[in-house]
Amino acid sequence: MTRFAYVNGRYLPQDEALIHIEDRGFQFADAIYEVWSVRSGELLDADGHFGRLERSLAELRITNPKSRAGYRLVIAELLRRNRVRDGLVYLQVSRGRARRDHAFPAAQTRPTVVMTAKRLDPAAADRRADHGVAVITRPDQRWARCDIKTVNLLPNVLAKQAAIEAGAAEAWLVDEAGKVTEGSSTNAWILNAEGVLVTRQADHAILHGITRSTIMNRAAALGYRVEERAFSVEEAQTAREAFMTSATTFVTAITSIDGRPVGNGAPGSVAIALREAYLESL
C-alpha cells in the first residue's frame, strides 16, 4: 500500500514527498515537531499537543502557518489515505526555505509543513508494557531549552542508540548534579519508598510531556501524591517502581536501571494501573 505524506499543501506518495536542500530544518534543525498517538481513529490528548506546538513555534518566532482546524483537516485526510486507525501522526514545521545564512530569512519566507501518519499495532505496545523495559543512564548533553520540541535531537539519538546497543529500550539522561532529567524520548518517573510519585519539575531541562501532565491528573484522581522534583539515579534504583511516559509508550514500566532491578524486577502495580487508567479514559 502506498503511504501518503503531506508537504506544503500537497498529498504525495511518501517516496516523492521531498523538501528542498536549503530548507532550514535540514540546514540548521530550525524546526519544531509534534507527535500524536492515534487510537480507534482519534488523536490522544489532541489539544495538549496543539497547545505545545503553538508554544514551540512562538518560542522560536516561527509564524504558525495553520489553525488547529487546518491541521485537523490534514490529519483526518492523512489518516484516511493511510488507513490508520491505530498509530501515529507526525508533524514538522520549519522556518522554511531560504539561502543558507544563520540569521532569520526574510519575513515573508513561508514555513515548511510536513505531516505523516503511520499504522502501529497496539497489541505489540501492550505486550512490551506487560514485560517492562530496561533503561541505562547517560550524561545529558543537550542544550538549555529542552522544553521546546525542536528537531535538534542528536544527543537524544546518540543516547537512544547507546541504550539499544546495551540491550535496553531507553536512556535516562542525567544532569551535572546527578539528577535524572528525562529519557531520550520519554519523561521519567519513580514511585518512591513512601509511595509518592516523583517526576522532574517542568523547567527548561525537560520536554513538558503531554502524557506526563495527563498522567499527573489521572494519578491525583486515583489518590496518589505526585511530587514534581528532580531525583537522583540512586533514588531511582532503590525506588519501588519506575516508569516512562510519552505519546508513543503511554505508561511503560521500567524493570531495571543500569542493570540493577527496580523493586522486584517486574512491572510495578502502580505503573500498570496508571497505564490502564490512561487507556480506559480514551
CB closer to ligand PDD out of 24 and 142: 142
Distance of alpha carbon 257 from alpha carbon 253, whole angstroms = 11
Name which position in 137, 211, 252, 255 contacts ligand PDD (CB under 6 A).
211
Backbone angles phi, psi at 216, to 5 degrees: -60, -45
Q: Could you say whether residue 199 binds ligand PDD (CB under 6 A)?
A: no
Residue type, 148: I
Query: Who contacts 154 (Cβ-Cβ below 8 Å, separation ≥6)?
Result: none
Q: Which stretch binds ligand PDD (CB under 6 A): 10-18, 71-79, 131-139, 205-213?
A: 205-213
Q: What's the min distance (Å) between Cβ of 100 and ligand PDD?
A: 26
The count of C-alpha atoms lying within 13 angstroms of the C-alpha of 111, restricted to the half-sphere facing its C-beta, is 20
273 binds ligand PDD (CB under 6 A): no
What residues does 43 pair with on adjacent strands?
38
Catalytic annotation on 149? yes
Min dist. Cβ of residue 37 to ligand PDD (A): 8
The span from the CA of 90 to the CA of 115, in Å, is 6
Which residue in the set 89, 242, 247, 270 belongs to the binding site for ligand PDD (CB under 6 A)?
A: 247
Is residue 212 near ligand PDD by the rule CB under 6 A? Answer: yes
Buried b (16+ CB within 10 A) or exposed e, 219-245: beeeebeeeeebbebebbbebbbbbbb
207 touches ligand PDD by CB under 6 A: yes
Find the binder of ligand PDD among 35, 162, 202, 273 (CB under 6 A). Answer: 35
112 vs 245, beta carbon nearer ligand PDD: 245
| Least Cβ distance, residue 89 to ligand PDD (angstroms) | 11
Return the residues of window 161-190 that contact ligand PDD according to CB under 6 A. Answer: 182, 185-187
**Cα dihedral 71, 77, 81, 87 in deg (nearest 10):** 50
How many Cα atoms sit within 13 Å of 142 on the Cβ side? 31
Q: What one-letter code names the amino acid at 130?
A: D
**Which residues, at least 6 apart from 101, have a Cβ–Cβ distance to it below 8 Å?**
none
The least CB distance from residue 49 to ligand PDD, in Å, is 7
Residues that bind ligand PDD (CB under 6 A): 35, 156, 182, 185-187, 207, 209-212, 245-248
Q: Which residues are catalytic?
A: 149
